[in-house]
Amino acid sequence: MKKIADNIPFSIAMAGKGGTGKTTLAGMLIKYLLMKGKTPVLAVDADSNANLNEVLGLEIADTLGNVREEMKKGKVPDGMTKDVFMSMKLNQAIVEAEGYDLIAMGQPEGAGCYCAANNLLAGFLERLTGNYPYIVMDNEAGMEHISRLTTRNIDVLLIVSDTSRRGLQAAIRINELAKSLNIGVDKSYLVINQIKKAPSAAVLDMIKDKGLEFAGTIPEDNTVYEYDLKGRPTVEMPDNNKAVKASFAIFDKIFESL
């Protein structure tokens, strides 16, 4: 773990098609890091339909997208510069929790020029991430975040798939796109979520043939659905839950290989 020893943030980003459980797994990863004492953690919800806060049981005060809109529309108080105003608003958007903080990106930029706002936002995020040894980023479904270079300089890209062929094909395409864009992803892993039985030999061969490292599987678990249905944070599921245990085993494997 040389990077962490050198005070360089270690970042893990989630990817995969919609409905595969990326956000739930991101929450499990944060739970794991807290349990292992790998703190503080910066949780970044880069999905425009932000719901990582629900998995974590937190309320979002504001998003970076809203702050950017305010600045672009000139909603800056008299006597305050744009950079001071944006810094103040961005700091207000950080949700503090025990051992970690959460920040939500919010809606993507709309029509018009966002150059000034985006430059200030990029500078703020660069300064912010330097305060955390671990960063967990939950991304939008599909490959849009990668093609727009939202996900860059990532140590581990954790690609989540369900057991469907479409899910696996999407995972393979995401991995190939990340490689072709040369966006600084050091290592990619595949996790197959919500399984009812072990992957077939044909599935494992397909993954291997495409050069995607298989990190493991997480079983289908009604507890996940029950917590979600009742609006309970899934990070509060007990440590002996089978989905939690399987997730932690995958994270152990990844960190041990680094």
As beta bridge partners, residue 101 has 42, 96
Query: Which band of pLDDT confidence, cut at 50, 70 and 90, is reported for residue 1?
Result: very low
CA distances from 110 to 66, 106, 118, 144, 220 (A): 11, 12, 12, 16, 38
Query: What value does the mean pLDDT take over residues 3-21?
Result: 80
Which amino acid, 49? N
Query: Which band of pLDDT confidence, cut at 50, 70 and 90, is reported for residue 111?
Result: low
Query: Which band of pLDDT confidence, cut at 50, 70 and 90, is reported for residue 114?
Result: very low
Query: What value does the mean pLDDT take over residues 39-55?
Result: 89
pLDDT in tens, 212-221: 899 999 999 9
CA–CA distance, 247 with 234 (Å, rounded to integer): 13
As beta bridge partners, residue 219 has 195
User: Could you tell me which residue, 247 or 180, shows the higher pLDDT?
Assistant: 247
pLDDT at residue 182 in the model: 77
pLDDT at 113 over 70: no
Query: What value does the mean pLDDT take over residues 16-20?
Result: 88
CA 30, 35, 41: angle at the middle one, nearest 5?
Answer: 40
CB 44 within 8 A of CB 64: no
CB 186 within 8 A of CB 152: no
67-70 own/partner pairs: CB under 8 Å, 24+ apart: 67/93, 67/121, 68/109, 68/114, 68/117, 68/118, 68/121, 69/107, 69/110
Taking Cα atoms as reference points, which of 56, 49, 43, 38 lies closest to residue 12?
43
Q: Is pTM, for the whole model, over 0.75?
A: yes
CA–CA distance, 116 with 85 (Å, rounded to integer): 13
pLDDT at residue 119 in the model: 63
As beta bridge partners, residue 11 has 135
Task: Give the CATH class of 2-257.
Answer: alpha beta
Residues ≥6 apart with Cβ < 8 Å to 86: 67, 71, 117, 120, 121, 124
Helix (H) or strand (E) holding 211: none
From 97-111, 135-149, 242-256, the region with the lowest mean pLDDT: 135-149
